[in-house]
Structure 1
């Protein structure tokens, strides 16, 4: 299955020859990786970060991978999306496990080789998603959950510790994956609506090169939302994703999930990390990290004109009229 790529512009355009090299490498290693996979069972928990685009999920992943003893997919390992065992072992040998982030990113993309990566190709492949649009409930039957479980368990085993991921697509199947892998944990990051919406508008301009082109993950309601104006599309994207993720997380045991505000994480990252540590300790009692005194982060407050603010708030009301089920959020 060929992955449907997002429309990117400028500095975000991909090097097509490099992409061909990576595809060839992954196909070759994938055939050999099977002999390296081991059945250790579900020893370590995995932690999956959810939220709307531009809600602070990248900062959360950088904090967790920097200050908690977890494995994470860096930009080097991500190039081995069909053969992560090879990527992890090479990364451990060449780059080491411990790293403190530079806390820089551009629309969720990081540059340094040891910075966290979303591992999008991996999730598209294993969840059988052609692109970034949420699939209907019946799609879960097409996913090989046993195979995904084996791969995730091996990833954790190669790190010899719990692993953290940004897993927007997996969030649509949070309830199912918790049934298959009971130690799976989720955290949801929520950001001030206006700041979030304006940041997505900026993403469309910079990343896509066209404010009218949809940016990032698409909820189940995408086909209806795409017929609306830009402000309603973005408002609907935030509300719909929250609705879909929350519906899944409602079915996840309380001991497997936490919810955070982006603004609170920025103000008190140490408390955020402490709660994550307690969450993982519930599923791995040997996980008792020392939480350092991490300095607060300056909250990114988008500059907004009264005109744009009014447009987004009116658009939000219009979306809530079209999708009254979102009101309960």
Structure 2
């Protein structure tokens, strides 16, 4: 296995402790909810497309429930985590735990955000049910074996505990939007898009941050990965961006307009209030009005600048164009 850089290495002690805790709480039923009753937003899209920034924006509003870092530690029974969070935060009037007054910052490292109440990617919960191998696509028999009832029951219990519509990342299932669409009519799919050159450039940078080199693959592997495994880093990053975007775009075509939201990364940075207005209207139309605060929304500096040298920029743009031609052929 390729070594990770120090800051991204997992703690074996933490993993062991969490595994023991979750073995104890899995199967403990805290409420009778079986299916989400409110719209549940799943954020889809390429890695490095702005999904974490969107999650940070939505988690700060107060009108959504979401898997915080604290809740996500209880991936075997996230409703249990919700109740723990309420005990440690919501009902801690004197803030004895020191969590309630923590500020949610708009900072992250490759999808990770610091703070007990900061949004988590929540992948441990998803991976309890969807057992991916090398690539991020399951075959029909693997999908058929998924306990979708238990998966939805866990989400429903979270919703019931938090008392709010949920929002979370769903990109682990970028290649299975059709499956998610079929198992619950409550899912609302939000596709966040970003210029593919910027996505691929950021993927290359993420490889260095995560592994200390450009050569090692980082993040989701498309079904085409076996054909890409021996290619150079620039070709791989271009293909990863194009194939992932294409898969999500094709999946989103299956989603009814009433359950579909499209968001552009630049718009999220420069006009976040317009994005939130779109989401507010969508939920209004779904019969789930959101009580969004009227306070001004913070704008953000985008990171669309070219940071590669001239040769790498040319090679990356050429590779993206090549793969775009392939998927459109």
Q: TM-score, normalised by structure 1?
A: 0.90
Give, in angstroms, the shift of residue 6 of structure 1. 7.9
Matched, 1:61 2:58: no
**Counterparts in 2 of 1:110-125, with a 5 A limit?**
110-125=113-128
Give, in angstroms, the shift of residue 259 of structure 1. 1.1
Secondary structure at the counterpart of residue 93 of structure 1: helix
* CA distance, structure 2, for counterparts of residue 185 and residue 7 of structure 1: 37
Give, in angstroms, the shift of residue 301 of structure 1. 2.9
User: Where does residue 150 of structure 1 map in the other structure?
Assistant: 153
* CA distance, structure 1, for counterparts of residue 35 and residue 199 of structure 2: 39
Secondary structure at the counterpart of residue 171 of structure 2: coil
User: Where does residue 30 of structure 1 map in the other structure?
Assistant: 26
Residues 77-103 of structure 1: per-residue CA shift (max 9 Å, x gap): 111111111111111221239886310
Give, in angstroms, the shift of residue 152 of structure 1. 1.2
User: Where does residue 268 of structure 1 map in the other structure?
Assistant: 271
User: Where does residue 78 of structure 1 map in the other structure?
Assistant: 72
Alignment gaps of 5+ in structure 2: 92-99
Secondary structure at the counterpart of residue 14 of structure 1: coil
* CA distance, structure 1, for counterparts of residue 34 and residue 287 of structure 2: 15
Q: 1:28 to 1:156 in 2, by over 3 A?
A: same
* CA distance, structure 1, for counterparts of residue 23 and residue 78 of structure 2: 12
Moved over 4 A (4+): 97-100
* CA distance, structure 2, for counterparts of residue 291 and residue 201 of structure 1: 38
Matched, 1:214 2:217: yes
User: Where does residue 312 of structure 1 map in the other structure?
Assistant: 316
Give, in angstroms, the shift of residue 263 of structure 1. 0.6
- Check the 8 A contact 1:124/1:130 in 2, yes or no: no
- Check the 8 A contact 2:3/2:211 in 1, yes or no: yes
User: Where does residue 293 of structure 1 map in the other structure?
Assistant: 296
Select 1:12's aligned residue among 8, 11, 15.
8
User: Where does residue 282 of structure 1 map in the other structure?
Assistant: 285
Give, in angstroms, the shift of residue 41 of structure 1. 4.2
* CA distance, structure 2, for counterparts of residue 290 and residue 47 of structure 1: 19
